[in-house]
Amino acid sequence: MGFRLNRRALLRGAGVAVALPVLDAMLDDRGLLSRPAHAGSRTIPVRLITLHWPNGTVMSRWNPTGTGPAYTLSESLRPLAGFALPDGTEVPAMRADVNVISGLKNTVADLGAGGGGHIRALAAFGNGMPMTLTSAGGITIDQVAANALGGATRFPSIPVAVQPAETANWDGASAAIFNNLSWAGVNRPVPADRDARALFQRLFSAPSSPSAAERAALYRRSVLDYVRGDLARLDRRVGAVDRQRLDEHLTSIRELERQSTVNTAVCALATAPQGVEAMSGDEYARLMMRLMVMALRCDLTRYASFQLYHPGNLYPWLGPAWTNLERHGLSHRTDAEANDLVVIATQYNVKQFAYLCSLLKDASEGDGSLLDHALVYATSEVSEGASHTYTDMPILLGGKGGNRVRAGRHLRYANDRTFNDLFVSMLNYLGVPTERFGHDGTAPLPDLDA
Amino acid sequence: MNWRGRITNTGHRLSRAFVAAVLAGGCSGYVGDAPGRPDAGSPPVIHDPGPLLVRRLTNVEYDHVVEDLTGQRERVSADFPADPKVVGFDNNAESLTVSALHAERYRDAAERVAAETLASPERRAAVVGCSLSDDGRDACLRSFVERFARRAYRRPATATEVAALLQLAGAAADDPDRDAAAGLVIQAVLQSPSFLFRTEFGDADPTRPGQHRLRGFDLAARLSFLLWDTAPDEALLDRAAAGGLDTPAALEATARAMLADPRARRGLAAFYEQWLRLYMLGGVHRDPAQFPTWGPALQASMTGETSRVVDDLLWRDGANFLDLLTGRTTFVDGNLAALYGVAAPAEPWGRMEMNDAAARAGLLTHASYLTLTARTEGSTLIHRGKFVREVLLCESMPSPPANVPSIPEPVPGETEIERLERHRSDPACNNCHRRMDPVGLGMRRYDAVGALHLVDAQMRPIPQAGSLYGFDPPDFDGPIALGRRLRAAPEFSQCVVRQVFRYAFGRPEVLGATDDGPSIDAVTARFRESGYSFREMLVALVGSESFRYGREGAR
């Protein structure tokens, strides 16, 4: 038996327990997916998670020494050698499953229409395009993959964030840029699920009784039919610019209709997240990660983005010194004490990345793990937080992308390539043939292949 | 869960310029600067009234409208994705879209509202109004559909729409729950683009190529969302249908009547709470050791003071709105009285006059402003100045370009002011910071929750000399003097109009003689002539060409 998920596999940690009734049935003896959706390829799909942490780091204490598999972990990256969670649970070393990529740059942060030093770089996260006043500058890599291949699952993609949306803005760029890692295009954010219970409900709720469910489904279809007709009638009367927003509404309505027809089998519900109110931000982030990974394991989606805290957050769970320490302000101090604290915060972000990778590694799939069939792209919007530096970005790439990526190395570039080139590589691993991406992605990075 | 609080240090993600022209011009730009003005003597041009926009309801508008339509009191938009604020306001047309998650939440909300409306005999009676048992079912359905859709779509439903809704209702024909058909209609209407989006069409105006003149129902919606923060009621729709909005005089008269309605209080609060950033107080974090009184109660007191002062200036007949920057009249409760070091009022929130010793007069001495602009790491001066530039003068402050050094660390013996002066000695920094930091210097006597300190820890007097670069003379002494200076500056009264303009039309204004300039000038002039009556300014805006016309745009 190639696929070794327990039928009632419990995710590690408190809070989420979901039974998995469907996925193993979809795999044949060799552990390959045999669902019609994959009849053409008969290979396990490659999943993508993009993850953002805010405010960059102190680069002199980030970059490892040496390249290739024998590199030496820097102090910021030490959690890749394994660490213990606050509750004592060990997270094993993930170093062998991760590439540290340095020396790539973001060339578009200064080309856009506005925004501060962080936001105009954040706007380029995942899409590598100059921003507009109200929007990221283009479609993000997760949405490119979702458009190409997301039709096989109930949700083409699932963006997740751990904090309530930020609504404040002064006279700068829209807070939409700040709140969204995933964009379907200009002015088309794909909003994140931020509430653990609502996300659980959305992913794992099952209809109550079959006949009531049938009638409810019929009614929903009828209502959406009407809305679609209304959109068509209105669309004929408005201009091209406004039509874009109506078109998006129409796309969203079609998406609702499709959800009810594709992969309606859901992972059966066991228990919903408990004790959410009492959780620290750290625990809540890990809960959201578990829910997101559950969605991947249940094949409810294959593409996700994950947004950690807002730049101005407090990290009180890191210790007494952090109770009133605002992370963004900290990053703009350059004294020695502040540098030390930023390194601690960075180590914490690396731990979160490693924890996420470990959840994927825990899920067996085929001859290996879900992590072998995934790419986990993680970085911040800036490298050096104090000066808003957009070169030598601190990038971590977890997973083996369907065993096509040779993991466990430090890859060093000379700031002659941009992260858009990395996105070209990643899309090809994901099974989306791609030659160009974003503002200036023109060729895949040569050194990633296994 | 304070870790999930709103950002407290927004400095570096704040504004840059909006247009390349402003960027190129460094820090001198105003948000709405147009590339150039026509030469004197060029032929008169019909100015561009701005595009007719399709505007999605904001989440707040959605809640208000659904309550009007169905009696739903509980906010159903609580789990909708948040609306982003652009140039200060949450109703920017371009950024209000319907993503798949929105569509899902709209569906869930519509299902919930339909079920709860029909389950409540009182609400059902108000919304449906007749029996859907077999006798008279068809007639009841039709009258309900026509009435409900007219109110929800803010115009009569077309025959096609009514037929489509009746056909939809037919899907529930054999449902033992006889009201299921009405439930479907409610669900469908609440998810329709004609409900979720405000659409305006108007009639092509032959004397103004490319422009449409708005009429009846379009104008009713513009009025209602601007003044009441919700959709038109039956009476306003009736007036629109009868042609009662189709002249500037009729529009202005209607606006005056609507401003006399209690709903206008909520409507205008929706404007000024965003303009003055009062909502940001909810995300402010303070070190409890340093500011033990900080908390939700004090935060509410701060919002309460500024709201009451603004309300007083909005609703008291004869009030001069410019007093916002200078007025000694204020309203405090026990919390604020303690913070301000004044005797508590006889009754909470009673009207009171501040004396000289209190050193409180005008918004720039309100705890709300002083708190929401206060930051850590010495950037308070910058943000207090930034607020004056952006919020009160409508200037745009670009954010620092990439790779510029942070504000330098203090060197031993250096004061905060010397440190910022060192920062400004870099020309790249000075171009913008000379407009902000010296303004904030004037508020040094007020701490991060707005308490007044005349001396520092070493008992040395704290100076409050500040400077307003670009104004003549620039120097001022303290926020009360600055308030007087700004009050007298035409830039401030014009900025009030510009902020209202952004809010009313869901887009940044474009100054310039062929764009929004003439309307803004005309409204500003009437604002002045009325003795700075905010309500008269709104009435003038409603009567302006920008309100009554729209460009076809890419149509």
List, for residues B156-178, the tens digit of each pLDDT value: 999 999 999 999 999 998 888 99
- In this prediction, residue B292 carries a pLDDT of 94
Contacts of B54 in chain A (CB under 8 A): 238, 242, 245-246
pTM of the model: 0.79
Q: What's the pLDDT band for B476 if we cut at 50, 70, 90?
A: very high
Mean pLDDT, range A46-51, rounded to an integer? 98
Of A285, A279, A280, A283, nearest to A54 by C-alpha is A285
Nearest chain A residue to B180, by CA? A219
- In this prediction, residue B56 carries a pLDDT of 96
Q: Please answer yes or no on whether B554 and A239 come within 8 Å at the CB atom.
A: yes
Alpha-carbon distance of A343 to B417, in angstroms, equals 30
Nearest chain B residue to A172, by CA? B15
List, for residues B192-216, the tens digit of each pLDDT value: 999 999 998 888 888 888 889 999 9
Query: CB-CB: which of B4, B171, B403 is closest to A163?
Result: B4
Which of A58, A153, A166, A170 should we substitute to test contact with B (largest number of B Cβ atoms within 10 Å)?
A170
Q: What tokens does A393 get?
A: 């970005």
Q: What tokens does B472 get?
A: 């003549």
Are the C-beta atoms of B483 and B370 separated by less than 8 Å?
no
Task: Report yes or no: B78 at the A interface, CB cutoff 8 Å.
Answer: no
CA–chain centroid gap for A140, Å, is 11
Q: Please answer yes or no on whether A239 and B401 come within 8 Å at the CB atom.
A: no
Alpha-carbon distance of B106 to A122, in angstroms, equals 28
Name beta bridge partners: A417: A104
Mean pLDDT over each residue of chain A, to the nearest integer: 84
Are the C-beta atoms of B96 and B56 separated by less than 8 Å?
yes
Which are the contacts of A352, defined by CB distance < 8 A and separation ≥ 6?
A: A51, A53, A285, A286, A289, A308
Alpha-carbon distance of A364 to A44, in angstroms, equals 12
Query: CB-CB: which of A164, A231, A314 is closest to B2?
Result: A314
Query: CB-CB: which of A190, A226, A335 is closest to B165?
Result: A226
Q: Please answer yes or no on whether B199 and A234 come within 8 Å at the CB atom.
A: yes
Q: Give residue for tokens 């379907």.
A: A184
User: ω before B408 within 30° of 0 (cis)?
Assistant: no
B269 to B227, B273, B532: CA distances (angstroms) = 10, 6, 18
Nearest chain A residue to B383, by CA? A170
- In this prediction, residue B169 carries a pLDDT of 94
Angle between helices B263-275 and B216-228 (to 10 degrees): 70
Task: Report yes or no: A247 at the B interface, CB cutoff 8 Å.
Answer: no
Nearest chain A residue to B411, by CA? A335
Alpha-carbon distance of B484 to B480, in angstroms, equals 6
* Chain B, window 176-195: residues with a beta carbon less than 8 angstroms from a chain A beta carbon: 180, 184, 187-188, 191-194
Query: CB-CB: which of B10, B285, B377 is closest to A333?
Result: B377
Alpha-carbon distance of B223 to B206, in angstroms, equals 25
Which of A167, A183, A200 should we substitute to test contact with B (largest number of B Cβ atoms within 10 Å)?
A167
Q: Please answer yes or no on whether A313 and B3 come within 8 Å at the CB atom.
A: yes
Are the C-beta atoms of A330 and A338 separated by less than 8 Å?
yes
Of B222, B268, B250, nearest to B93 by C-alpha is B222
Are the C-beta atoms of A65 and A410 separated by less than 8 Å?
no
* A258-272, B119-133, B414-428, B483-497: range with lowest mean pLDDT: A258-272
Q: What tokens does B69 get?
A: 């339509």
Q: Report strand pairing: A374-379 vs A47-52.
A: parallel
List, for residues B210-256, the tens digit of each pLDDT value: 889 999 999 999 999 999 999 999 999 999 999 999 999 999 999 99
Q: Assign 3-class secondary structure to A185-224.
A: ECCEECCCECCHHHHHHHHHCCCCCHHHHHHHHHHHHHHH
Task: Report yes or no: A379 at the B interface, CB cutoff 8 Å.
Answer: no
A426-A432-A437 Cα angle (round to 5): 60
Continuous segment of H or E residues that includes residue A230 = helix A210-235
- In this prediction, residue B31 carries a pLDDT of 44
Mean pLDDT, range B406-412, rounded to an integer? 70
Q: What's the pLDDT band for B44 if we cut at 50, 70, 90?
A: very low
Q: Please answer yes or no on whether A313 and B287 come within 8 Å at the CB atom.
A: no
Q: What tokens does B465 get?
A: 């000399």
Buried b (16+ CB within 10 A) or exposed e, B267-283: bbbbbbbbbbbbbbbeb
Which are the contacts of A359, defined by CB distance < 8 A and separation ≥ 6?
A: A11, A12, A289, A290, A293
Q: What tokens does B524 get?
A: 């500003």
Which are the contacts of B73, defined by CB distance < 8 A and separation ≥ 6?
A: B67
* A16-30, A135-149, A282-296, B414-428: range with lowest mean pLDDT: A16-30
A112 vs chain B: nearest CA distance in angstroms? 9
Nearest chain B residue to A171, by CA? B87
B326 vs chain A: nearest CA distance in angstroms? 24
